[in-house]
Chains A and B, each alone.
Chain A
Amino acid sequence: MAAVHSEAHGETHNPALLHHFATEEQQRDASSFGMWIFLATEVMFFGGLFCAYLIYRRWYFGDFAAASKSIDAFLGGTNTAVLICSSLTVVLAIWAAQTARRALMIIMLLLTMLFGLAFLGIKAVEYKQKFDEHHVPGASFSFEHESIPGHPDQYANPRHAQIFFALYFVMTGLHALHMIVGLGIFAWLLWMAWKGRFTPEYHTPLEIGGLYWHFVDIVWIYLFPLLYLIDRHP
């Protein structure tokens, strides 16, 4: 098959090179550029939520602080560490591909996915906590008699706190959705790696998959302090 292919146009090239590109370098550049642009759209997508968050936080700071205190910063912090580790394993997987270390590449990809699953598991625990405490917005939402940090005589306005939780669930939920998509992408990358499709000369899907994963990580790094650490005191 490869022999027929290279006979057809007289020079050999990596089978992954698509014919509308002149060189592998052009293809790699284009793919990378394309992923960066997609990430720009994702920034704008999450940006709308961050914009809403910023506005309401400014208006209802005390209520937001009270609501923020009620979500578990330890679990959130653990999740942050988990994601940062997963970004490390992604980078190691790419390094392994660049240096033809197939076994290490596959292990790192697996670890990345395990970290991702751990993140989602911890998130599920958090969501359940919120559900049990009636902090999920809707008919059974309740946020009575929660004092505003720093103002023990004032109670938080439940309506404003509900806005915080609405944003909490939408923002972390959208993030979790992106994580799930990321897991799907990495499952595919793992399969390609297993089949030996990545070499030091060609591992572009790993690189752009890695870019996506790092982006999802960075979104969480913004979400964590904004949601979990409003006006926290030791």
Chain B
Amino acid sequence: MSMATATAQPVERVNYLNKEYGVWSWLLTTDHKRIALLYLLSITFFFFIGGFFALMIRLELLTPAGDLVQADTYNKLFTMHGMVMIFFFLIPSIPAVLGNFLVPMMIGAKDLAFPRVNLLSWYLYIIGAIMMLHCMLTGGVDTGWTFYTPFSTAFTNTKIVEAGLAIFIAGFSSILTGLNFIVTIHRMRAPGMTWSRLPLFIWAHYATSIIQILGTPVVAITIVLVAVERTLHLGIFDPKLGGDPLLFQHLFWFYSHPAVYIMILPSMGIVSEIIACFARKRIFGYSFVAISSISIAVFGFLVWAHHMFVAGISVYAALVFSLLSYSVAVPSAVKVFNWTATLYKGSIRYDAPMLYAFGFLGLFTIGGLTGLFLACLGIDVHVTDTYFVVAHFHYIMVGGALMGYLGGMHFWWPKISGKLYPEGWARLAALIVFIGFNLTFFPQFILGYVGMPRRYYQYPQEFQVLNVLSTAGATVLGVGYLLPMIYFLWSMRYGKPAPDNPWNAAGLEWKTPSPPTTYNFEEEPVVTWEAYNYDEIDAAHKEEVPVAG
């Protein structure tokens, strides 16, 4: 504890940021909040790398001819864009940054169940990330992020094994994070924090962790088999040796479909927190939203072959997976309806986090609905492997997951950094992101529908206008992403100090100082209230004006 000095200067309160200084106090920390920041730096770095590849792709696609890069290089660009964004940005992003920071605080715990495993998880991510960087700098991979066989096992000359190993190690990081969250949520809740009082952010991360635990090992073994086939020529997937390339696709998508739910569920958790706070209302249908998170996790494991409708599976299998894919949309729709119902008769404020939540609502809905188009076999035969699919998944992953992530970063930034970000700039950035995003990806729906294939670097002349619009949108989007980077950094030095609860939000994390101390709570909290008790909170604060911004 710091002691009062003899001077008139107020001493800065001890918190998790200033408790210890020095590189080793960060690299050997077991404080979940510091580990969250370590992850924040890492995944932001990889976001830039993935974004760079995206920029190169969109630059090439400005013109119909393949004139910026060679065909092989283009293959590497979209492959590396996908691998980096999925494995080194999206999958860790919310759980490893906001999840690590908030899960213990939201349940009233001092830390996660296994703090040292948490640190190990970050180191595994870094090892995998460095390996992937090295792979990219020494030639990269050109198979598409899906590295289908037999191209990846028998024909390509690029660095599949190294990239596979990098993803394998990063996957282990993901597994350990999920393991930590599940045990923490089960065993470390404060007295009175029953399952039905948990914030929906926690339910979302619990469901995500189930997927991480059960799904990631399958892609791990798939990578092992590909590596073994490439190096030792054991032909599990090789038709020449009696193997089946489709077995690879089944094993790959068994993880990679649930993986997309790893990417979206945490974001949905954030949206629940933001909407409740900025509508000053309990989330409508709390239990339905909680159960739907678990349903998405479970159903998400049953639909993988909808990525294989035209790969050669039987039409009866395709029918079954089509039906299951329709049903997995139901719990997601339940959430969207419940969030909308929460807004009804709420006292809505349009702060930046809420703008991102609104963006999420609209864009996730579009992305999700277009998923239903793809689940329909007749439509899928027409648009599969076209830009329609590309637009669909970017609407969900960028318009959905990334918007939620940005909203969450803004919402909890005062808690994490102890500073307020500039609200005016934040609202502007949210608007720029929304406009840039739609300009980038909406034309791609049309492009896909009229026949532009994905992963091609040249296209017929008549598609150029839409491609140019898309590239223009990408530039705007890039500006929109740069702005928060700048003003968050700015706020750490020049921002107004944040109060403990700038939003008057519900949740145990807001009952700590901003920024929190290392062990979060002075005394273990005892919870006697339901989640999102905004009516109680607002009754007590009726005379106060919210202080954010």
Contact = CB atoms under 8 A, between A and B. Distances in A.
B247 A55 contact: yes
A60 B524 CA distance: 61
Interface in B209-235: 213-218, 220-222, 224-225, 228, 232-235
A60 B242 contact: yes
B409 interface: no
Given A33-B186, A138-B233, A166-B236, A48 B218 contact: yes
Given A38-B179, A49-B221, A166-B234, A30 B111 contact: no
Interface string B229-257: 00011111000111110010001001000
Nearest to A159: B242
A162 B228 contact: no
A13 to B, nearest CB: 15
A52 B214 contact: no
Given A47-B218, A52-B236, A41 B213 contact: yes
Contact of A41 (B187, B216, B524): B216
Nearest to A163: B242
Q: Which 9 pairs across A and B sit closest by C-beta, in order of nearness? A: A166-B234, A48-B221, A45-B217, A44-B217, A159-B242, A20-B111, A20-B110, A30-B113, A30-B187
A138 B232 contact: yes
Given A137-B232, A137-B233, A34 B113 contact: yes
A29 interface: yes
A170 B225 contact: yes
A158 to B, nearest CB: 9
Question: Interface centre among B114, B187, B224, by most A CB within 10 Å?
Answer: B187
30 contacts: A18-B115, A19-B110, A20-B113, A26-B188, A30-B113, A30-B183, A33-B182, A34-B114, A34-B179, A34-B180, A37-B183, A38-B179, A40-B213, A41-B175, A41-B214, A42-B217, A44-B214, A45-B220, A48-B218, A48-B222, A137-B234, A139-B233, A159-B235, A159-B242, A162-B234, A162-B242, A163-B236, A170-B234, A170-B236, A174-B224
A135 interface: no
Contacts of B235: 137, 159, 162-163, 166
Given A34-B117, A46-B221, 14 more contacts: A20-B112, A20-B113, A34-B180, A40-B214, A41-B175, A45-B221, A48-B217, A48-B218, A52-B225, A137-B235, A138-B233, A138-B234, A159-B241, A170-B225
A167 B228 CA distance: 11
Interface residues of A, number: 40
B451 to A, nearest CB: 35
A68 interface: no
A42 B183 CA distance: 17
B249 to A, nearest CB: 13
B233 A52 contact: no
A160 interface: yes
A16 to B, nearest CB: 13
Interface string A16-27: 001111100010
Interface string A134-146: 0001110000000
B270 interface: no
Nearest to B214: A44
Interface of A: 18-22, 26, 29-30, 33-34, 37-38, 40-42, 44-49, 51-52, 55-56, 60, 137-139, 157, 159-160, 162-163, 165-167, 169-170, 174
A34 B254 CA distance: 24
Given A37-B183, A159-B242, A22 B236 contact: no
Please report whether the interface of chain A is mostly helix, strand, loop or mixed according to DSSP. Answer: helix
Nearest to A44: B217
Given A29-B187, A47-B218, A52 B242 contact: no
Contacts of A48: 217-218, 221-222, 225, 251, 254
Interface string B519-530: 100001000000
Given A30-B188, A52-B225, A169 B247 contact: no
Contacts of B175: 41
A163 B183 contact: no
A138 B221 CA distance: 20
B374 interface: no
Interface of B: 109-115, 117, 175, 179-180, 182-183, 186-188, 213-218, 220-222, 224-225, 228, 232-236, 240-244, 247, 251, 254, 519, 524
Contacts of B117: 34
Contacts of A26: 187-188
B222 A157 contact: no
B253 to A, nearest CB: 12
A29 B220 CA distance: 28
A44 B218 contact: yes
Given A30-B187, A48-B221, A41 B232 contact: no
Contacts of B182: 33, 37
Nearest to B180: A34
Nearest to A50: B221
Contacts of A45: 217-218, 220-221
Contacts of A159: 235, 240-242
Question: Interface centre among A19, A20, A46, by most B CB within 10 Å?
Answer: A20
B233 A20 contact: no
Nearest to B240: A159
A170 B183 contact: no
Contacts of B115: 18, 20
Contacts of A170: 224-225, 228, 234, 236
Contacts of B112: 20
Nearest to B114: A34
A49 B223 CA distance: 12
Contacts of B524: 22
Contacts of A47: 217-218, 221
A169 B234 CA distance: 9
Nearest to B221: A48
A139 B241 CA distance: 12
A48 B251 CA distance: 7
Nearest to A138: B233
A190 B187 CA distance: 29
Contact of B217 (A41, A139, A157): A41
Given A41-B214, A44-B215, A157 B242 contact: yes
Contact of B109 (A18, A20, A55): A20
Contacts of B213: 37, 40-41, 44
Given A20-B115, A44-B215, A45-B220, A51 B251 contact: yes
A197 to B, nearest CB: 17
B231 to A, nearest CB: 10
A47 B216 CA distance: 12
